[in-house]
Amino acid sequence: MDKIYNTVFEVSLRLLLLLATDSKAANTVERIAAIDLITLNARNFGIAEYNLHGDGDFRFGEFSLRREMVKKALQELVINGKITLKNTNVGFCYEINESGKECCAELDTEYADEYYDILKKVIVACQNKTERELLSLINKQPIISYQG
């Protein structure tokens, strides 16, 4: 594989870390995609000192594309037996299982460590926010970024 960045595989690894770290939340596709985007752009949300993937001009405009990549990654993780899909009172939610946790334990890279450190801060900052509030935060960011 020549390219790993921005692939379903890369997103899958981040989502495993997310689900392992945020296991108490009702992790729907929307919430997972929002938390992942906020984690990658945490500086813009006042949560971290830098954006993990830099400061590209289209980092917020691509949310619908990112959501589709998250959906594909979640499907792959379910098929590969790393996560479980559950029908809950808030809709379909995803949970990491033992196989997924084992995979997370093997992620020993600087990038995984940085993502994890920022992710923990994002989860604390977003723990009481609804999906609608998270999406509203994301939708406001392009305006704030271009004004600031």
Three-class SS of residue 98? helix
CA distance 60 to 119: 18
Residue 88 lies in a domain: yes
Does residue 2 belong to any structural domain of this protein?
no
Report yes or no on 45 lying in a domain: yes
What pLDDT does 142 receive? 58
Overall pTM surpassing 0.75 (yes/no): yes
Q: How confident is the model at residue 11 (pLDDT cuts 50, 70, 90)?
A: very high
Residue at 23 is within a domain: yes
Helices (H) and strands (E) in the chain, counts: 6, 2
Which structural domain range is residue 55 located in? 8-142
Does a structural domain hold residue 111? Answer: yes
CB 129 within 8 A of CB 137: yes
Total domain count, the chain: 1
- Residue 121, SS3 per DSSP: helix
Phi, psi of 98 (to 5 degrees): -60, -40
Confidence grade of residue 5 (pLDDT, cut at 50, 70, 90): low
